Amino acid sequence: MPALRLPAANGGLESFTLSEPRDFPSRPARPFNRVAFAAAHVVADAHADGAPRLEPAIDWEATLAIREHLFALGFGVAEAMDTAQRGQGLDWKASRELIRRSLKHTQSIPDARLACGAGTDQLSPSDRLTRDDVIQAYEEQIELIEGLGGRVILMASRALAACAKSADDYVAVYDRLLRQVREPVILHWLGEMFDPALKGYWGHSDTTEAMQVCLDILTAHADRVDGVKISLLDREAEIAMRRRLPPSVRMYTGDDFHFAELIAGDEHGYSDALLGIFDAIAPAASAALVALADGDTDEYHQILAPTVPLSRHVFQAPTRFYKTGLVFLAWLNGHQDHFVMVGGQQSARSVPHFAELFRLADAAGLLADPELAVRRMQQLLALHGIDG
């Protein structure tokens, strides 16, 4: 197996020899017994002229190929979410085009499931905004998605967090929106570790109090809600909320630290999934979910066990920079031909971070072509003046 020199904890370099990659199936052998959405990243157009931090340029062909890869492995795709750098490099104009292209492309793929994020990123967050401003922004995005035949994920709103005076404002906004959606939606509760601008969402900084507001909304509109995705990286909070959901409402785990055990569940139930880490570990996650559907929980946990430390590294604080790790792994595995991100976000993590991510991906059997992965890692090291 190929080897290279990687940065070590002591500041020097150490030799690292890759392991044999796992031979995961390219197609699932049977349907999953959990609903599993992968939130997908976008591939930047590295050849576009302009200011990368101000003008998002997307390689549409490569971006849609990422989605085809996820569909083929049995996943639904959550489109234009925070994993696609929504609100962190990808503005509403670019998101709108992403949604249009993805929905059109998905029509040609049998049984493909796509759900699209509707938010309020046309607005600049301000305490001078009103409830109606927020509602109108949401309505514009919902109308676009539903008009194209898409399914809606109601994303958390920075604008609402900025202008809400109390929990009553959240109740009023979501009540208005949920009364008018055509089909049941997925609500997304994104924690402040993913986006500091969402601190105090649902009108409370205390998780238990915030959860109660969200549960009241879900209970009042259970017929208009397919499920709720919570991204709090808090296993106990997710389980507590899962046990209190209306029977028809799914819990979609967004916990990239504890996803394996939350999806497996316990005697009281389980979580379905809508996860950013699936973008990076899709072959392993697909094989594990097939094992779970076959009733082989030992195999399920054996496959996913090494992906958990990988995911925790990708999502380490500052958590909002996790997208950089996803794109890095996509580049190592040949899903894109460069390591350039919208908004220049490839610079958001350090070389030691990438070196450890490389080791963890190898341990999980997720470097499908070790020779390619080594060449590309050496390119990154050389760019930073390191002879790997």
Write out pLDDT tens, residues 164-188: 999 999 999 999 999 999 999 999 9
Is the Cα dihedral 135, 137, 141, 147 positive or negative?
positive
Cα-Cα-Cα-Cα dihedral of 88, 50, 326, 16, to 10°?
A: -130
pLDDT confidence bin for 53, thresholds 50/70/90: confident
φ and ψ at residue 343, rounded to 5 degrees:
75, 10
Q: Which residues have C-beta within 8 Å of that of residue 108, sequence separation ≥ 6?
A: none
Global pTM reads 0.97
CA dist., res. 53 & res. 88, Å (int): 10
pLDDT, position 51:
79
Backbone φ and ψ for 185, nearest 5 degrees, come out as -110, 170
Angle among Cα 60, 65, 71 to the nearest 5 degrees reads: 130
Lowest mean pLDDT across 87-91, 210-214, 251-255, 352-356: 87-91
The pLDDT score that the predictor gives to residue 54 is 77
- 324 or 9: which carries more pLDDT confidence? 324
Please write the tens of the pLDDT for every residue from 214-236. Answer: 999 999 999 999 999 999 999 99
Angle at 366 (CA atoms; ends 312, 192), nearest 5 degrees: 25
H/E stretch holding 37 reads strand 36-39
In order of their start, the domains of the chain are: 26-307 (3.20.20.70)
Q: Percentage of residues in the chain with pLDDT exceeding 90? A: 96
The per-residue pLDDT of the chain, averaged, comes to 97
Residue 154 pairs in a beta bridge with 118, 187
Residue matched to tokens 């392991």 = 19
Beta strands in 2-146 (DSSP E): 3-7, 13-17, 36-39, 76-79, 114-118
Q: Which residues contact 224 (CB under 8 A, 6 or more apart)?
A: 178, 179, 181, 184, 185
Phi–psi pair at 258, nearest 5 degrees: -125, 20
pLDDT exceeds 90 at position 116: yes
Residues 224 and 20: their CA atoms lie apart, in Å, by 47
Query: Residue 242 is encoded by which pair of tokens?
Result: 């899962």
